[in-house]
Structure 1
């Protein structure tokens, strides 16, 4: 699978959950990867990247900070493409502006400003989220089909204090505007909650949701959740680069599953796992809408069955002693 032979790409926020998988797949495909992290000397954050197949020959780490102007220049210089994944994932914040909005928005602008000045650059692949798709007025109805034309409403995000949704929406909107104004070829991926095996040594937000379910908690008090496999999301990013006709946004999300269904599958797969009952089941919010994923499937992404994703996630958590 040597699609990337001789090509140089940059991945921002490379030690993160999705980004680590993007780096892994890029290296396997023969790309040279310039990966940005906040601190290249922090072994805990970089060890799993340096251990990847092909890393020794074709992975270079660069220090970069989302809030620091020009800090991505060295990493992006000479690249054919940039995968911008770096952005904080937080749902509980005390200062939304400094903790979420500034890093998401300014970071995206810093990266794109550098891309604009890079003559070798052919395409930018931006990791956005279903967060910038789902919160709109009128609200998404049960059985409504959500697709790439849906955009979250920033004023509604503010009003309802959905700060993470606001940060992702503002960052994506600004990225589209900047790309249009400056003739940048950009493709955006909008994944939902992501599960699947971890490459990084620490627990990330979306996988932690499963740990919460096992412990009898339901952070969003929702009856239904959708999960998509991290390997599918990472592959979608790479297909978005390798498919010349790829354009616009790509929604990538899994099937609707109730918390009870998820627990049943986990009990079946891991009979020895102690799974607590969720409190207040009758008060759970029921939100069941449909998601059209035809566009991302047309890139050549086949979805991993949810049972397999759940199995591999729990196995990975056990292996890393995170469960």
Structure 2
């Protein structure tokens, strides 16, 4: 196992991506320090403690994104740090307090802690394709978006795309801090994620998928990618230390014959990612809803796929 004897940290360990990341890291033999907001919340810890290898190699620790120094002792002794913790809200009346401040300050707090220790070889930050595509650049079926693109904060603010703004500002702050402090940083920019949930509660992106499966109108969804592919890509981004810069992760465009633009898969393919078929990912997502009794229909016997 490639992770045997190595210690890594996963922030926001109970989240959608992070839970899968913890699972895969444990399966590869890593010892994982997972941070949580509340160690007394069973919805945050029970599914993690049930993972194979958790009894021996998973250590859950409480840490606060907004508390300076909260991650100092957590990252000490870790070779890799996976920063996944960030608020996900697509509607808010308090964007600064609920999205922007936790995303930016939280990212800087984690990186600041990493800069204080000598053990950390690489930091992998979970950003979003939202920090790539929201700008005034001309798009069309022949336009290919890659990791050189950035969302425009002014455009995000003018269009009140607060989540995109929070992810864009956090990513920019991360690159600046990493450059100034000599941190080896990789940023992942996944598209809209589907796939089964490990956590017992419905996360924001899965809730939107659930609405979509119910036939409700939701905002246009582009660039699907399975959460398992995203989690595996994070690990590869740490283990393949020759990799540099950021990586856009997306398997498919919107379910339409008239895509607004394409997304480059070169960096993802360099990680050895063989993207899961969208149909398989969607089916597994719905099966996960069934297992966790998140109903599409009033009568469970009406489930179809």
Check whether TM > 0.5.
Answer: yes
After superposition, where does 1:120-131 map in structure 2 within 5 Å?
A: 120-131=119-130
Query: Do the aligned partners of 2:191 and 2:222 also contact (CA within 8 Å) in 1?
Result: no
The residue that corresponds to 1:250 in the other structure is 247
After superposition, where does 1:149-168 map in structure 2 within 5 Å?
A: 149-168=148-167
The residue that corresponds to 1:38 in the other structure is 37
Any unmatched runs of 5+ in structure 1? Answer: 262-285
The residue that corresponds to 2:15 in the other structure is 16
Provide the rounded CA distance (Å) in 2 between the counterparts of 1:313 and 1:214: 10
Normalising by structure 1, we get a TM-score of 0.89
Provide the rounded CA distance (Å) in 2 between the counterparts of 1:72 and 1:142: 43
How many Å apart are 1:287 and its aligned residue?
5.5
Query: Do the aligned partners of 1:140 and 1:289 also contact (CA within 8 Å) in 2?
Result: yes
How many Å apart are 1:139 and its aligned residue?
4.1
Query: Do the aligned partners of 2:32 and 2:57 also contact (CA within 8 Å) in 1?
Result: yes
Query: Do the aligned partners of 2:72 and 2:116 also contact (CA within 8 Å) in 1?
Result: no
* C-alpha distance after superposition, 1:123-162 (max 9, x if no partner): 0000000000001122433431111111000111111110
* C-alpha distance after superposition, 1:26-77 (max 9, x if no partner): 0000000000000112111110000000000000011011111111112111
SS in 1 for 2:193: strand
Task: Give the ranges of 4+ consecutive aligned residues of structure 1 lying more than 6 Å apart after TM superposition.
Answer: none
Provide the rounded CA distance (Å) in 2 between the counterparts of 1:287 and 1:92: 25
Any unmatched runs of 5+ in structure 2? Answer: 296-305
The residue that corresponds to 1:204 in the other structure is 203
SS in 1 for 2:293: coil
The residue that corresponds to 1:68 in the other structure is 67
SS in 2 for 1:303: coil
Provide the rounded CA distance (Å) in 2 between the counterparts of 1:7 and 1:225: 36
How many Å apart are 1:118 and its aligned residue?
1.0
SS in 1 for 2:222: strand
Pairing partner for 2:234 from 216, 234, 237: 237
Normalising by structure 2, we get a TM-score of 0.94
Question: What number of residue pairs does the alignment pair up?
Answer: 295
SS in 1 for 2:223: strand
What do you get for the CA RMSD once the two structures are aligned? 1.3
